[in-house]
Structure 1
Amino acid sequence: MMARLAGRIALVTGGGQGVGRGIALALAAEGASVVISGRTETTLKDTAREIAERGGRVRTVVGDVGDRDDVEHMVAETVREFGGLHVLVNNAQSSVQRPLAETSYDDLQLTYRSGPLATFHAMQAALPHLKAGRGSVVNLGSSAAVQGEATFAAYAMAKEAIRGLTRVAAREWGPYGIRVNVVCPAALSPAAEDFLAAHPDKAERVLAGIPLGRMGDPEQDIGRAVAALVSDDMAYLTGATLMLEGGRTLLG
């Protein structure tokens, strides 16, 4: 069987580790040529090496999504390296966790610059190429934002702004054949592993609140779902939020 994403070209921001790494691995496994970007060259190289060892085509671009020039460079390098852009995954996002009353303007600036503004800039830069290939955009939301979890004010504001942007883009870009969707993952990234290991009581409560009883695997649970989402198998879905969190946000 031919891989579902053979001939497609993808850019994954924050692709060197965690959920971004899992998505990049899964896209490459389905035949996509993948560019991964991020601020840390060593993690990008490690992920690129793993993709290449599995037989995938991959390039890396070092840059900060909080800088518009860097974002435009990521898109331009993707097109230069592989000749186009069909899939844009806006994964990179800085996070701040503190009570609402203690949340500062600087916290909001950090989360907005790395989240909705970075997503906005990448989508604008990618639009001409997505038009040419009737492409797909996947933006990363958060179940913490959907639920309104305590101490996540700045992060939740940024992630819900991304969901609003996604719905507008789905309406405006649908006539070009471009699909724009959100995924909200709950995955056992290295950061999540470290946090849960340091807070065993919290870990127990988190797992108790997930009907499937476990955190998602960044590649197998999140990455493969994103690969399916951007494939022709999901060609009639746009403007949607896909909750990849094991049922964590189910309402009673």
Structure 2
Amino acid sequence: MGKLEGKVAIITGGAGGIGSGMARAMAKEGAVVAIVDLNEEMGKATEAELQAISPKSFFLKADLMDHANLPNIVETVVEKCGKLDILVNNAHVSKQVPLAETTQAHLDLSFGTSFYPTFYLMNAALPHLKETKGNIINFASGAGLSGHKTQGAYAAAKEAIRGLSRVAANEWGEFGINVNIISPLAYTPGVEAWSKSQPEYYEQVRNQIPLGRFGDVEQDIGRVAVFLASDDSSYITGQTLMVDGGSLMLH
């Protein structure tokens, strides 16, 4: 029996990167995983990979910027699978520019692909998570916690998600719903591209990580997501877990 045997999970941004790593980790523990993404090609490829492990897992194409349609994501999954146990709000798109050059469009993109979908999907999932005493996993970033330069819109949305998550943890704890946050540092396709374009800077950053490496999307980030989605974490809520090799140590 896997840790998530028989559980149903939604993962936004699940077609690649950290999202697909979490999807694989959860599928291997017995979950039925619905990966939500706009990239159909990557989504279908990841769907095939997941179905070899968890045959009922599937890809759902959706534009998270279409906020009015977000509740339909939850309803589609519940209609197909009969319930919902786990909601993972992982998707985020943003552009890096200095704060003085940040425009309304930059803010709209960052909040529109992450904060608002997190808010609307959490509320849409609430009645179903009440029934299963389920788990919500949202995503923060070291960029927000330490205030990285050129990441104003990104950092603001990530910190807004942390605030929202703590409110939800307080309000929904009475229903047996756990709400936690992962702040990751992982070797994603984006980091891989960066390592090739700026190898010296990449090595400098990597050497500053106490554990000396970027995390693996499945083994490092995915396994922590499995923990937070399982009964093993039933007495943890409202917390930010730094899954970043020790890069940031919260006090």
| Cα deviation digits, residues 98-156 of structure 1 (max 9, x gap) | 11111111101110111111100000110110001000000011111111111111000
Report the Cα offset of residue 56 of structure 1.
4.3
Comparing 187-196 with 151-160, greater Cα deviation is found at: 187-196
2:30–2:54 contact (8 Å) kept in structure 1: no
Q: Which moves more between the two structures, 83-92 or 60-69?
A: 60-69
CA contact (8 A) 1:29 1:56 kept: no
Residue identity matched to 1:145: G
- Aligned equivalents of 2:125, 2:65: Cα separation in 1: 16
Aligned partners of 1:199, 1:80: CA distance in 2, in Å?
A: 46
Q: Is the 8 A contact 2:94 2:154 kept in 1?
A: yes
The answer to whether the Cα contact below 8 Å between 2:88 and 2:138 also exists between their aligned partners in 1 is: yes
Contact 1:144 1:152 in 2 (8 A): yes
Q: Which residue of 2 aligns with 1:69?
A: 68
Q: Which runs of 5+ in 1 are unaligned?
A: none
CA contact (8 A) 1:28 1:57 kept: no
User: What whole-Å deviation, never above 9, does each CA across 1:168-220 have from its counterpart, x for those lacking one?
Assistant: 00000000000000000101111111122111122012101100110001011
Structure 2 SS opposite 1:237: coil
Name the counterpart of 1:153: 152
Change (3 A) 1:251 1:10: closer
2:129 aligns with 130
Deviation at 1:243, TM superposition (A): 0.4
1:205 aligns to what?
204
Residue 90 in structure 1 maps to residue 89 in structure 2: yes
| 2:91–2:114 CA contact under 8 A, matched in 1 | yes
| Aligned position for 1:242 | 241
CA distance in 1, matches of 2:31, 2:173: 23
The answer on 1:9 being equivalent to 2:39 is no
Contact 1:141 1:162 in 2 (8 A): yes
Cα distance between partner residues in 1 of 2:62 and 2:135: 22
TM-score normalised by structure 2 residue count: 0.97
Q: Give secondary structure in 2 for the equivalent of 1:137.
A: strand
Structure 2's unaligned 5+ residue stretches are none
SS state of the match for residue 70, structure 2?
helix
Cα displacement (A) at 1:57? 2.8
What SS does the corresponding residue of 2:36 show, helix, strand or coil?
strand
Q: Identify the residue that residue 194 of structure 1 maps to in structure 2.
A: 193
Calculate percent identity across the aligned residue pairs.
45
Q: Is the 8 A contact 2:182 2:241 kept in 1?
A: yes
| Counterpart residue identity of residue 169, structure 1 | A
- Inter-CA distance 248–118: structure 2 relative to 1 (3 Å threshold): same
Who is 1:173 aligned against? Answer: 172
Please, what is the CA RMSD of the aligned residues? 1.2
Number of the residue aligned with 1:20: 19
**Structure 2 Cα separation of the partners of residues 173 and 196 of structure 1:** 41
Q: Partner residue of 2:79?
A: 80
| Alignment map for 1:11-50 (pairs within 5 Å) | 11-50=10-49
User: Which amino acid in 1 is paired with 2:76?
Assistant: E
> Structure 2: how far apart are the matches of 1:42 and 1:241?
32
The separation in 2 between residues aligned to 1:190 and 1:251, in whole angstroms, is 27
Quote the Cα distance in structure 1 between the aligned partners of 2:39 and 2:68: 17
Q: What residue number does 1:231 align with?
A: 230
Q: Which stretch of the first structure deviates more once superposed, 186-195 or 68-77? A: 68-77
Which runs of 4 or more aligned residues in structure 1 lie more than 6 Å from their structure 2 counterparts after TM superposition? none
Is 1:54 matched with 2:64?
no
